[in-house]
Amino acid sequence: MNTTRTTSDKDNASGPAPGPAPYTVVGGPRWDRIRKYPYAMTFLVLSRGDRLFRGELVSELLAQGLGEVVWVEGHEPSADVETLSRDHPEVRFLLMKEPTTAGERVNIGIAEARSPFVLCFWSDMRPAKLPFGMLESLEKSSVVCTVPLSRTSRFQPIPSWQSPLWKRRRLSVAFRLPRKDGESTLFPFDFSGIYNTERFLRTGGFDRSLLNPYWQKLDFGFRCYLWGERMVGTTHVAFTYTAPPPTDDSTPDQSYKLFFLKNMAVRMRREMGILPLWLVLDYIIHSDVSPLYSVREFVAVRDWVRTHKFRFRRDPRDLIQKWEGDS
């Protein structure tokens, strides 16, 4: 059965942006609406790369008996989706109808999940360890995302956990190898992790206005911490890439500008977050667009900050100083 649905992540929209992406749902069982969460966990698979062994991956996940499988395709779905859906009618395939960012696909997948936790990863990754014994600890934890261990195709660990720091009075992000469970990390590497469904949705998820994946992940991570959430790493869950791991482009661009205004420029005043008006002149001077458009960008983000002012628990300076002190 095919249905068309839309999702809205207006809580994190930082200004004028395209509306929520429409998508089609193919396959899957009827929703048991009596129970809020009929499954213990959702495997959220984001399609990427070639079609080799996709059927085997779906079969392997279903054989775990841990929960449901939701598969998200891009706006140009693979030719084998129909075959996969026919062979695995219990799997829900979400087919985007227009181009979307990786973060928006994660938002949509988690919004569709019928479980309290969502294990999200890409189809070119293979689970080496799964969280069979972690469900009880996840239920007791208060983190928005638990970030697993990532390894190359040669089983070499990837520096996939991060720490923010000041470097020459500018923000820098240091990547490090996973060492022990429970270490804080800034954002989910390659969007992969075990998300707490309700906590994630309360944050607004990934901002679809940021098109650059690096700044989109960094924006999500900073927002979570500035709003009082946490993310930790775990070595009890591991994924191995079947292809070279992706590389992020951290070049300052339009996405960086929005990240800066929404996070780095926020200050705390009387237990609420504000975007000081006096920063607009500095923003105009350093912006690469016309002054009029710069003011529009600034005002849009300032309105967003004002809407969520009571959700801020700290400003970025306090966050980074405390992180450096704990390291």
pLDDT in tens, 113-171: 999 999 999 999 998 877 777 888 888 889 999 999 999 999 999 999 999 999 988 99
CA pair distance 319, 226, nearest whole angstrom: 7
Question: Are 140 and 102 members of one domain?
Answer: yes
Query: Model pTM?
Result: 0.93
Question: Domain for residue 246, yes or no?
Answer: no
Q: What percent of the chain has pLDDT over 70?
A: 93
Tell me which residue range forms the domain holding 284.
Answer: 265-319
- Domain for residue 315, yes or no? yes
Query: How high is the mean pLDDT of the chain?
Result: 90
Instruction: Check residue 36 and report its DSSP letter.
Output: S
If asked whether residues 134 and 181 sit together in one domain, one would say: yes
Does 117 map to a domain? yes
- Note whether residue 326 is domain-resident: no
**Are 48 and 169 in a shared domain?**
yes
Looking at the structure, do residues 45 and 109 belong to the same domain, yes or no? yes
Q: What is the CATH number of the domain that holds 118?
A: 3.90.550.10
pLDDT value, residue 327: 57
68 and 117 in a single domain? The answer is: yes
Based on the fold, state whether residues 143 and 274 are members of the same structural domain.
no
DSSP track, 60-128: HHHHT-SEEEEEEE-SS--TTHHHHHHH-TTSEEEEESS---HHHHHHHHHHH--SSEEEEEETTEEEE
Number of independent structural domains in the chain? 2
Distance CA 6, CA 101 (A): 15
DSSP codes of every residue in 265-282 = T-EEETTEEE--TTHHHH
Split at pLDDT 50, 70, 90, the class of 19 is low
Give tens-digit pLDDT for 224-248.
Answer: 999 999 999 999 999 999 998 889 9
Same-domain check for residues 168 and 229: yes
255 belongs to a structural domain: no
Claim to verify: residue 285 and residue 230 sit in the same structural domain: no
Answer yes or no: is 252 within a domain.
no
Q: Is the same domain home to 170 and 21?
A: yes
60-98 pLDDT, tens digit per residue, is 999 988 899 999 999 888 888 999 999 999 999 999 999
pLDDT at 156: 94
Residues 42 and 179 both lie in one domain: yes
End-to-end CA distance of the chain: 52
Q: Is residue 123 part of a domain?
A: yes
